[in-house]
Structures are given as structure tokens and as C-alpha cells.
A and B are shown apart, each in its own frame.
Chain A
Amino acid sequence: QKEVEQDPGPLSVPEGAIVSLNCTYSNSAFQYFMWYRQYSRKGPELLMYTYSSGNKEDGRFTAQVDKSSKYISLFIRDSQPSDSATYLCAMSVNNDMRFGAGTRLTVKP
């Protein structure tokens, strides 16, 4: 079993839809939970991060962490074509980072 599981998709939605992306993990020691966005042929860039359980909102993006279920989510409201990218969940403890496989999202105009 991988430490971090993420459905690779692909996921295709119409513009304006609400997108839900999810990851599960097995290592209960993880403390920081991140979402990175990667455009085609670019390096990943940090989108959001949370420490321990809870919710965090930033504009159209909301990150949720449920440590009891070892489950994290990213919600995108009013999705735009510019949101089309691969979204990678990541989690870390003591500077050791583990990434999910990434979910490829396409938002169609």
C-alpha cells in the first residue's frame, strides 16, 4: 500500500462546477498537508497548506483535513478553464515530503 493514495483521474468538468479532489494516507505521523498545482511541463507550485486537522479557505479554494480518517480534500468553487492542471496532494513530517500521484483536471469552457 502506498503512503499516499490519490485517484489520478482524469477529471473533466464544465466551467463553474464545484470540483472535489481527495487523498488518503496511511502514516498518522504526517503533520503538514499540502496541495500543489502543476501546469503542463512546469514544476509544481504550492496552492494551499494546513497544519493538522481542520479547514482552510483561500478565495475559491478550500482545503480540508480529517486526521482521524486520514483523509484530505481540496474543493474548487466556480471552477475556471485556468484551473486546468494536475493537482498533487502532499504531506510531510520532519521535512520529509510524500506526494500523491496527482489528479489531472480539465475545466471546459
Chain B
Amino acid sequence: DAGVIQSPRHEVTEMGQEVTLRCKPISGHDYLFWYRQTMMRGLELLIYFNNNVPIDDSGMPEDRFSAKMPNASFSTLKIQPSEPRDSAVYFCASSSLARTRDAHEQFFGPGTRLTVL
């Protein structure tokens, strides 16, 4: 299995531009998570999906952030408009409830390093 795939790996954009991050979870996993990691705040859960349905988006910082999961093999995280304080590494992770009683064994992608100038 290729693991969780994220694209792009690096994104540099200017303030005010729209940014779209993409994620392909591991096949067969029914949970998908989006995280943001910064030096100041560490790893923060933004939103997670179960069977393509958003379950908890309380970590999404503002209305500028939105996430979708149109099917079991693809999810996007969109920031519009982007701001310099959005600069961070964004990770996607997936897990399978069939493997554990709680989706704690999450498999992380390599991350997207976002820089907003």
C-alpha cells in the first residue's frame, strides 16, 4: 500500500489567494483527519470525517477554512482567502475502525508545507 498521499508537498502563495490541499487516504480506511502543525501550537486537529461525512469540525479556525470528502478516496482542505498566519504544515491521516475499537492508530501522510507570503 502506498500509504496516505498528500499533494502538493510544498505550496508558496501570496496573501489573499485560494489554497487547496489534497489527500488520498489508505484504501479501506473509514476515518480521515486533517491536522495543522506549527512550532507555536503543535499538532492541532482541524476536522475529521467518518465514511465521508464530517463528524467534528470544531478545530477549523475560521470560515476561511473548509474541507470536503466527496468520496472514500479523496479529500480536500481549502483556505480562501489565505493569510500569513496560515503558514504551517498540514497533515492528512486515515484510520480504520475495523482494526481498533477507537480510531487511534492513525496513519499520517507526508504533509503539505504551506507558506503564505
| CB < 8 Å neighbour of A100 from B4, B42, B48, B111 | B42
Please report which residues of chain A, range 71-101, place their CB below 8 angstroms from some CB of chain B when the two chains form the complex.
88, 90, 92-101
The 8 A CB mask of B36-67 against A (1 = contact, 0 = none) is 00000011110010100001100000000000
Interface residues on chain B, number (Cβ under 8 Å): 24
**Among B56, B102, B109, contact of A32 (Cβ-Cβ < 8 Å):** B102
Interface of A (DSSP majority class): strand
Q: Say which residue of B42, B97, B106, B109 sits within 8 Å of A97 (CB atoms).
A: B106
Q: How far is the CA of A88 from the CA of B33 in the complex (A)?
A: 17
Q: Give B residues with C-beta under 8 Å from A.
A: 4, 31, 33, 42-45, 48, 50, 55-56, 91, 93, 97, 102-111
Interface positions of A (Cβ within 8 A of B):
31-32, 34, 41-46, 49, 88, 90, 92-102
Query: Please, could you name 18 A-B residue pairs with CB atoms under 8 Å apart, sorted by A?
Result: A31-B102, A41-B111, A43-B91, A43-B93, A43-B108, A43-B111, A44-B43, A44-B91, A45-B107, A46-B105, A46-B106, A46-B107, A92-B103, A92-B104, A93-B102, A94-B102, A95-B102, A96-B45
